[in-house]
Amino acid sequence: MDRIAIQGGATLHGEIPVSGAKNSAIKLMAASILTNQPLRLTNMPRLADTRFLGQLLRQFGIEVTETDGPDGQETLFDGRDIRSTFAPYELVRQMRASFNVLGPLLGRTGHAKVSLPGGCTIGARPVDLHLMALSAMGASIELEEGYVSAHAPKGLRGAEIEFPFVSVGATEHALLAAVLARGTTVLKRAAREPEIGDLARCLIAMGARIEGLDTDQLVIEGVTSLNGADWSVIPDRIEMGSYAVAAAMAGGEVRLTKGRADLIQALTDKMVEAGVEVTPTDDGVIVKRDPKQRLKAVDVTTEIYPGFATDLQAQFMALMTTAEGESVINETIFENRFMHAPELARLGADISVHAGEARVQGVETLTGAPVMATDLRASVCLVIAGLVAEGQTVVDRVYHLDRGFERLEEKLGACGAQVTRLKGEGDEH
Ligand code: UD1
């Protein structure tokens, strides 16, 4: 298994280009199931998660071709023939979001058998709302031996669906199913994450009829078929936010490009409150901090978009470990998402966790140590802490990191961070 070694103490100076959003790319890839025409996605991140999903799509008979085009990395999907609608456990367990192929497979072919997902170990993460939405659209659903078998021989039909609470995954899944359903679907209490807007806009470019974009109510008028399209993936706000925090932690001045400042506003507001200088630009932000000056502790509560993203909570906690005073961090989206706290404590952080609340008492210095990544976002928080920890920090299990961060060592290294990958043997992830 690969590990990442960070030599703490270097300030960061330079530019980091933001990649296309993982959480958007994987939903856009699932949209390729819906059409027998080519879908071309540009600004595609190359990550373990997109690779897993590519493998799954190939198994359905979709041709997936990755190239480096004039607009950067792109992937072409050609789903002329769907030869299989079976998604095996071995592929779905690698990445939860691949469960979202169920709806589009049903929409296109009327049947599918998809394994229940595995994925990040952050709380229970059920899929009951996904199945509730598909049943409401007329699918008959059976659960057997870890698999969901779904049938809608006459096609899905539009339905009014009110989610009991906001779920990003269930909203996207219902949207992917509804575009080819007969009649109108109304999704109430829909999630408003920018990646959902990106998916909806791409579907519209493919010929779908969707209203209420970026609101909590989506109205979808089903169409009988969708076209291909060319679509550029929205910038990754979580990657962007992570590097913004990294720059704030290490100190120095970093310009984040190919991003969008508005997508990380909730984070940058908190960073500014803590004493970081953040200047929005046309395609990103400039993050500046004098490493000699200590940041102030500030409190955050994770919320649905446009609130503070749960996917940035671990990184912000790392930032708070050396701030002056106490920071109270409330996690309201996922229970059990503080697994990084004991790992940060190995570096000398002072954190106590009670239920959904973490209290971080800022310390003056962190000290390097071996630590273990427990999930995708937690792994980057350990790299961030390692940037200031005295001596060397080695993060184990970086396959979590590889699921969502493209060329991390290269991007941070270009700004002066001393981050190296230690190649492991027999890594199957
Ligand atoms: C997505 C993102 C993830 C982000 C999260 C919240 C992807 C691949 N993942 O995850 O990075 O952290 O949104 O912004 O895009 N729930 C149920 N039943 C369901 C579905 C969800 O109870 O059927 C619960 C979950 O356990 C959780 C809450 O709803 O407590 C929110 O989950 P959801 O928004 O669905 O998150 P994901 O789509 O899994």
Residues known to be catalytic: 120
Q: What is the pLDDT of residue 375?
A: 84
Q: What is the pLDDT of residue 427?
A: 46
- Are both 208 and 336 inside the same structural domain? no
Q: What is the CATH number of the domain that holds 95?
A: 3.65.10.10
Strand ranges for 314-429 from DSSP E: 326-330, 350-354, 357-361, 370-372, 392-396, 418-422
- Are both 306 and 371 inside the same structural domain? yes
Provide the domain limits for residue 399.
Answer: 3-19+235-422
| 337 contacts 331 by C-beta, under 8 angstroms | yes
Q: How far does residue 67's CA lie from ligand 1's centre (Å)?
A: 31
Q: Among candidates 288, 346, 341, 280, which has minimal Cα distance to 316?
A: 341
Q: Is the CB of 170 under 6 A from ligand 1?
A: yes
Q: How far apart are CA 42 and CA 35, in angstroms?
A: 18
**314-334 pLDDT tens trace:** 999 999 999 999 999 999 998
**Of the candidates 189, 209, 232, which is a domain's last residue?**
232
Q: Is the CB of 337 under 6 A from ligand 1?
A: no
Q: What is the DSSP letter of 7?
A: E
Q: Is the CB of 23 under 6 A from ligand 1?
A: yes
> Which residues have C-beta within 8 Å of that of residue 382, sequence separation ≥ 6?
318, 340, 343, 344, 347, 371, 373, 393, 395
Number of domains in the chain: 2
Q: What is the pLDDT of residue 377?
A: 84
Q: Is the CB of 127 under 6 A from ligand 1?
A: yes
Joined together, the tokens standing for residue 192 give: 């408003």
- Are both 257 and 307 inside the same structural domain? yes
pLDDT band at 428 (very low <50, low <70, confident <90, very high): very low
Q: Among candidates 398, 397, 392, 385, which has minimal Cα distance to 418?
A: 392
- Are both 155 and 184 inside the same structural domain? yes
pLDDT band at 123 (very low <50, low <70, confident <90, very high): low
Q: What is the pLDDT of residue 125?
A: 72
Establish if 427 belongs to a structural domain.
no
Closest CA to ligand 1's atom 26:
125
Establish if 127 belongs to a structural domain.
yes
- Are both 38 and 55 inside the same structural domain? yes
| 343 contacts 378 by C-beta, under 8 angstroms | yes
Average pLDDT over the chain reads 94
Q: Is the CB of 126 under 6 A from ligand 1?
A: yes
Instruction: Please tell me whether residue 231 adopts helix, strand or coil conformation.
Output: strand
- Are both 252 and 223 inside the same structural domain? no
Over range 13-36, report the average pLDDT. Answer: 97
Q: What is the pLDDT of residue 64?
A: 98
Position 425 pLDDT exceeds 70: no
* Residue 27 burial (10 A CB sphere; 0-12, 13-18, 19+): buried
Q: What is the DSSP letter of 423?
A: P
Instruction: Please tell me whether residue 367 adopts helix, strand or coil conformation.
Output: strand
**280-314 pLDDT tens trace:** 999 999 999 999 999 999 999 999 999 999 999 99
Residue 263: count of CB within 10 angstroms of its CB:
25
**173-222 pLDDT tens trace:** 999 999 999 999 999 999 999 999 999 999 999 999 999 999 999 999 99
**Helix/strand/coil (H/E/C) assignment for every residue in 275-286:** CCEEEEECCEEE
- Are both 254 and 286 inside the same structural domain? yes
In the beta sheet, which residues pair with residue 367?
390
Q: What is the pLDDT of residue 121?
A: 56
Position 429 pLDDT exceeds 60: no
- For a pLDDT cut of 90, what percent of the chain falls above it? 87
Instruction: Please tell me whether residue 374 adopts helix, strand or coil conformation.
Output: coil
| Best residue among 135, 267, 333 to mutate for probing ligand 1, ranked by most atoms within 8 Å of CB | 333
Alpha helices in 337-418 (DSSP H): 340-346, 376-386, 399-402, 408-413
Q: How far does residue 167's CA lie from ligand 1's centre (Å)?
A: 5
**369-402 pLDDT tens trace:** 999 998 888 889 999 999 999 999 999 988 888 8
**159-183 pLDDT tens trace:** 999 999 999 999 999 999 999 999 9
- Are both 265 and 370 inside the same structural domain? yes
Q: Is the CB of 333 under 6 A from ligand 1?
A: yes
Q: Is the CB of 307 under 6 A from ligand 1?
A: no
Q: How far does residue 16's CA lie from ligand 1's centre (Å)?
A: 28
Establish if 428 belongs to a structural domain.
no
| Best residue among 49, 53, 102, 125 to mutate for probing ligand 1, ranked by most atoms within 8 Å of CB | 125
Q: How far does residue 285's CA lie from ligand 1's centre (Å)?
A: 28
Tell me the CA end-to-end span of the chain in Å, nearest whole number. Answer: 8
Neighbour-count burial for 34-46, b at 16+ CB within 10 Å, e otherwise? bbebbbbbbbbbb
251 Cα distance to chain centroid: 26
Residue 160: count of CB within 10 angstroms of its CB:
11
Q: How far apart are CA 410 and CA 424, in angstroms?
A: 18
Q: Is the CB of 240 under 6 A from ligand 1?
A: no
| Best residue among 131, 167, 316 to mutate for probing ligand 1, ranked by most atoms within 8 Å of CB | 167
Q: How far does residue 400's CA lie from ligand 1's centre (Å)?
A: 18
Q: What is the pLDDT of residue 118?
A: 63
Q: How far does residue 169's CA lie from ligand 1's centre (Å)?
A: 5
Q: Among candidates 415, 377, 417, 375, which has minimal Cα distance to 393?
A: 417
Q: Is the CB of 98 under 6 A from ligand 1?
A: no
Establish if 240 belongs to a structural domain.
yes
